[in-house]
């Protein structure tokens, strides 16, 4: 029997005809469950420190002709939830067969062992597990969302730590009185003192332009929990033992040098979404950046930041089982990094037979692809049309997990004429396949990358709240 989850889209990516959108597969499965009149409730929960996320759905009862589809639908949904929100314990409120399947998948040596080890060892420092109960016994949702950001009172420092440059701003009552951008290459540095020194130097430079420092906000790629660096590509050169002792508490130690003023460290994707929310004066913002990988961040309807991971590079968007593209880091198939990054552009260009210099870096290859656009290469347009198809269907899938009123699309892949083609195709897919979603959200594209970087540092500065004096 053919899978309900593998649906051929109306808009087939010209350079990747095997693409089977998760958004269409999910809708096809749920429609079949509803039409059968034999659906049973399934409640999925994710537990992490101080939080519990809940996802409610319907599935076929065990023993149906679609058992394989049910297990794959649930497994893909749980994987998306894990990389969207994070967690160390999966709670299954439903059939024990589903819990057994997930328990096997997330066990050592199982198909999802990478996810389990990453979440337990690297992120939450807690053993990973799968629990089973009935749908009515799954705990209520507990989603902490804090009013981080948008605080512009006082004398603040905002620091934006990028992979190729770091930017710092001194902000007094919402106005940037000083900013500085410094080129650096932190990924190859093996000495923790280099990172400590560079971060401290940037903060001291900003502090010298203000009468005092009331608060510090930091934007950086990676996963930060309670202002501790759990996973961060900037520090990938640091040995594991030194990472634990010197890098995890690096911002807590730096805070001590600034009289323990309020300090908040957030993922750069979340700060990008926050900057968008501040500029738009509106919440429910999902930001998606297509660069060396896919980065994402989210701000709630109330313009609050969450404790969610939003690592959508590793969330599934393609349900095909026949030779899906595989991420070399996680070994996972059909996830965002292969569709919304320079990796995707290179993969598609190679499929089109476009010659690229073998020893060039991924960034150089992307630049070469983009430079072919004005020259009218016969297939270069199809690279960006394909990414646009991916994006249109993925937006619909993201909307199943996020409330989205505003969508920010940015990153090097979206620059130039290729970006125009990409976004036009995404809008066409949404309008044609998902008209209700197309009418409920707005897509925004920052006009100037340099302005966005300045805004990122100011948005970072606004992260901490300053306690009111009695």
Taking only the tens of pLDDT, the chain with its 470 residues reads 569 999 999 999 999 999 999 999 999 999 999 999 989 999 999 999 899 999 999 999 999 999 999 999 999 999 999 999 999 999 999 999 999 999 999 999 999 999 999 999 999 999 999 999 999 999 999 998 766 788 999 999 999 998 778 899 999 999 999 999 998 888 889 999 999 999 999 999 999 999 999 999 999 988 999 999 998 888 989 998 899 999 999 999 999 999 999 999 999 889 989 988 888 889 999 999 898 889 899 999 988 888 899 999 999 999 999 999 999 888 899 999 999 999 999 999 999 999 899 999 888 999 999 998 877 677 899 999 999 999 999 999 999 999 999 999 988 899 889 999 999 999 999 999 999 999 999 999 876 444 444 478 889 999 999 988 75
Contact 315, 79 (CB under 8 A): yes
C-alpha to C-alpha distance for 394 and 24, rounded to whole angstroms: 10
Using DSSP's 3-state secondary structure scheme, residue 415 falls into coil
Measure the CA angle with vertex 250, ends 249 and 255; round to 5°.
100
Compute CA 455 distance to the chain's CA centroid, rounded to the nearest angstrom: 19
List phi, psi (to 5°) of 178. -160, 140
End-to-end CA distance of the chain, in Å?
Answer: 70
Mean pLDDT of the chain: 92
Three state DSSP letters for 157-186: EEEEECCCEEEEEEEECCEEEEEEEEECCH
Among the listed residues 351, 355, 348, the one whose alpha carbon sits nearest the alpha carbon of residue 290 = 348
Among the listed residues 152, 159, 154, the one whose alpha carbon sits nearest the alpha carbon of residue 254 = 159
What's the token pair of residue 291?
């660069």
Burial 111-129 (b: 16+ CB within 10 A, else e): ebebbbebbbeebbeeebe
C-alpha to C-alpha distance for 448 and 470, rounded to whole angstroms: 42
Compute CA 32 distance to the chain's CA centroid, rounded to the nearest angstrom: 30
Cα distances (angstroms) measured from residue 80 to each of 143, 187, 339: 17, 28, 15
Using DSSP's 3-state secondary structure scheme, residue 63 falls into coil
C-alpha to C-alpha distance for 294 and 312, rounded to whole angstroms: 7
Bridge partner list, 265: 218
Among the listed residues 8, 48, 30, the one whose alpha carbon sits nearest the alpha carbon of residue 141 = 48
C-alpha to C-alpha distance for 413 and 109, rounded to whole angstroms: 36
Q: How many helices (H) and strands (E) are present in the chain, helices listed first?
A: 14, 17
DSSP labels, 319-339: ---SS--B-TTT--BSBGGGT
Bridge partner list, 58: 41
C-alpha to C-alpha distance for 394 and 339, rounded to whole angstroms: 9
List phi, psi (to 5°) of 224. -125, 130
Rg (CA), the chain: 22
- For the chain, the residue count is 470
Measure the CA angle with vertex 166, ends 163 and 169; round to 5°.
150
What pLDDT does 259 receive? 95
């Amino acid at each position: 029997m053919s899978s309900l989850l593998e649906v051929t889209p109306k808009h087939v990516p010209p350079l990747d005809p095997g693409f089977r959108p998760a958004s269409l597969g999910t809708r096809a499965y749920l429609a079949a469950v509803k039409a059968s009149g034999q659906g049973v409730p399934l409640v999925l929960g994710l537990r992490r420190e101080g939080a519990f996320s809940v996802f409610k759905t319907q599935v076929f009862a065990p023993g149906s002709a679609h058992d394989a589809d049910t297990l794959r639908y649930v497994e893909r949904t749980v994987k998306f939830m894990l990389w969207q929100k994070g967690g160390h314990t999966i709670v299954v409120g439903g059939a024990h067969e589903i819990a057994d399947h997930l328990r096997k998948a997330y066990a050592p040596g199982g198909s999802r062992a990478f996810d389990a080890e990453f979440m337990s060892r690297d992120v939450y420092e807690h053993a990973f597990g799968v629990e089973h109960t009935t749908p009515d016994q799954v705990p209520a949702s507990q989603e902490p969302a804090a009013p981080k950001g948008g605080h512009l009172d006082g004398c603040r420092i905002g620091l934006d730590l990028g992979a190729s440059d770091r930017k710092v701003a001194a902000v007094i009552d919402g106005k940037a009185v000083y900013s500085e951008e410094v080129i650096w290459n932190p990924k190859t540095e093996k000495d923790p003192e280099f990172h400590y020194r560079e971060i401290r130097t940037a903060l001291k430079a900003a502090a010298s332009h203000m009468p005092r420092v009331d608060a510090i906000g930091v934007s950086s790629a990676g996963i930060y929990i309670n202002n501790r660096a759990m996973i961060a590509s900037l520090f990938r050169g640091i040995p594991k033992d030194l990472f634990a002792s010197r890098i995890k508490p690096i911002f807590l130690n730096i805070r001590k040098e600034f009289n323990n003023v309020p300090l908040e460290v957030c993922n750069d994707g979340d700060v990008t979404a926050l900057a968008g929310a501040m500029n738009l004066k509106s919440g429910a913002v999902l930001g998606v950046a297509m660069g060396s990988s896919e980065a994402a961040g989210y701000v709630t309807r109330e313009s609050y930041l969450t404790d969610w991971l939003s690592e959508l590079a590793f969330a599934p968007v393609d349900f095909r089982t026949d030779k899906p593209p595989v991420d070399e880091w996680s070994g996972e198939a059909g996830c965002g990094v292969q569709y919304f990054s320079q990796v995707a552009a290179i993969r598609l260009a190679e499929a089109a037979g476009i010659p690229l210099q073998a020893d060039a870096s991924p960034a150089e290859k992307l630049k070469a692809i983009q430079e072919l656009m004005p020259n009218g290469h016969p297939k270069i347009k199809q690279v960006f049309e394909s990414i646009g198809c991916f994006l249109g269907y993925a937006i619909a899938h993201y909307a199943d997990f996020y409330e989205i009123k505003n969508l920010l699309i940015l990153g090097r892949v979206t620059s130039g004429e290729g970006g125009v083609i990409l976004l036009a195709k995404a809008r066409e897919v949404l309008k044609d396949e998902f008209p209700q979603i197309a009418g409920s959200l707005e897509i925004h594209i920052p006009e100037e990358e340099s302005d966005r970087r300045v805004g990122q540092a100011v948005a970072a500065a606004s992260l901490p709240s300053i306690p009111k004096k009695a």
